Amino acid sequence: MSENNSKVRDIIQKAEDYLKKFDEGLLVTTDAGNKIEIKTTDEMTGETVYRLFADVLGEKITIYRLCRSSKDNTLVLGAAKELIEIFDKGIAGRIIVAGEGVFKRIKELEETIQKLSEELETLRKENENLKEEIERLRRGREDLIPP
């Protein structure tokens, strides 16, 4: 039972991760999303229909957002699986790609690395100065204490 709960949590977490990345611009749809039609099933008639990828993605995101706070785990899980499926299809078809948010985040991380590198160098110099000070004090103490 707990293994099943763990799988459900993993599926929901993956859906949440995709949604977060999409909302933050780390994943975006290309122009193809508004041109490529995908085969889906009409919920009312059960017939196979073709719809724009962007429309289906928007629908799956909306459904998941509406369902994710439901107490009905079956409903949440179903919506999460459908959201993951459409994201996976979009990524595989290169309709969903890394967005500019990724490049912004990379730049932020590079700046953080630069600052940390500078701080590390400052700390290394300070450490070396302290080692020299300890050695100077040790020599001074030896001069004051007779053997």
Q: Which of 15, 57, 18 is nearest to 34 (CA)?
A: 57
What's the CA gap between 85 and 30, in Å, rounded?
17
Token reading at 145: 């204490």
Q: Tens of pLDDT along 1-26?
A: 467 788 989 999 999 999 999 998 88
Q: Tens of pLDDT along 32-80?
A: 999 999 999 888 899 999 999 999 999 999 999 999 999 888 999 999 9
Q: Tens of pLDDT along 98-125?
A: 888 777 778 889 999 999 999 999 999 9
| DSSP annotation string for 14-68 | HHHHHHHHHHTTSEEE-GGGGT-EEEEE-TTT--EEEEEHHHHHHHHHHHHHHHT
Residue 141: band (very low, low, confident or very high) from pLDDT cuts 50, 70, 90: confident
Residue 128: band (very low, low, confident or very high) from pLDDT cuts 50, 70, 90: very high
Q: Residue 90: is it exposed, middle or buried by C-beta count within 10 angstroms (0-12/13-18/19+)?
A: buried
Say if residues 91 and 30 touch (Cβ distance below 8 Å): no
Backbone angles phi, psi at 97, to 5 degrees: -135, 170
Say if residues 24 and 101 touch (Cβ distance below 8 Å): yes
